[in-house]
Amino acid sequence: MAQLRALIAEDETILSLTLIKHLEKLWPELRICGVVENGVAAVQEALAQLPDILFLDIKMPGKTGLEVAQELAEEWTDDKPFPLIVFVTAYDDYAIDAFEHAASDYVYR
């Protein structure tokens, strides 16, 4: 089976590093294929890398995680399954919006 690949979009470096550390411990088979710090880069990198999983911060510069998910849903290639989306945020009031945008999970930190 092919190794799953994930892209992380988080504008706070310490939080992205913490997420990577936890993922490496809990899911060592997962390969992080990129880390970006804003929503515009998240869209560009996701379309270039076509990861299996996206960890998206809700509030980041350029585009929110919700906007990234919406744009990717419109632009995603037909020959690769759409990635699982996990929203990662310090804001619990975005959970409903996240699931309305096909979130696979919502991590409130």
Mapped onto helix, strand or coil, the DSSP state of residue 104 is: coil
Return the number of other C-beta atoms located less than 10 Å from residue 44's C-beta.
12
Is the pLDDT score of 92 beyond 70? no
Question: What is the domain extent for residue 95?
Answer: 5-108
Is the pLDDT score of 69 beyond 50? yes
Match 């088979």 to its residue by tokens: 29
C-beta separation of 49 from 34 below 8 A: yes
19-33 pLDDT, tens per residue? 999 999 999 999 999
Is the pLDDT score of 106 beyond 50? no
Rounded-to-integer distance, Cα 45 and Cα 89, Å: 20
Kind and range of the H or E run holding 78: none
Kind and range of the H or E run holding 53: strand 53-57
CATH number, position 56: 3.40.50.2300
Nearest to 11 by CA among 74, 63, 85, 75: 63
DSSP state of 93: G
User: What's the domain count of the chain?
Assistant: 1
pTM above 0.75, yes or no: yes
